[in-house]
Amino acid sequence: SQTIHQWPATLVQPVGSPLSLECTVEGTSNPNLYWYRQAAGRGLQLLFYSVGIGQISSEVPQNLSASRPQDRQFILSSKKLLLSDSGFYLCAWSIRPNSPLHFGNGTRLTVT
């Protein structure tokens, strides 16, 4: 069966520090991969999605970037965190576009 791993579960980082959140999927090949951010009362905001290795689409211009160095690995990064980057970050995968998403357990990021 397929599983998705996302880490760390919680993270506290100072303003201006770098960020790297990692997500891996097991049990499937060539998944579509997604990064969402969840802020209180604002639902889920799609940040990035990828349909293949090295293919990244950005939904919202911001202080973050994403990379897909391997088929089932998706990384969210920042060179310098801002206070506004605080939130709950969720990685997800699907077998094809428009298919249901399968989510990781999320990372709670607090920028201080």
Partner 1 sequence: AQSVTQLDSQVPVFEEAPVELRCNYSSSVSVYLFWYVQYPNQGLQLLLKYLSGSTLVKGINGFEAEFNKSQTSFHLRKPSVHISDTAEYFCAVARDDKIIFGKGTRLHILP
Q: Interaction with partner 1 in 28-67: which residues (CB under 8 A)?
A: 32, 34, 36, 41-44, 46, 49, 51, 59
- The count of residues interacting with partner 1 (CB under 8 A) is 25
Rounded Cα distance, 66 and 83, in Å: 19
- Comparing C-alpha atoms, which of 105, 81, 72, 94 is closest to residue 14? 81
106 binds partner 1 (CB under 8 A): yes
DSSP 9: S
Binding interface with partner 1 (CB under 8 A): 6, 32, 34, 36, 41-44, 46, 49, 51, 59, 90, 92, 94, 97-98, 100-106, 108
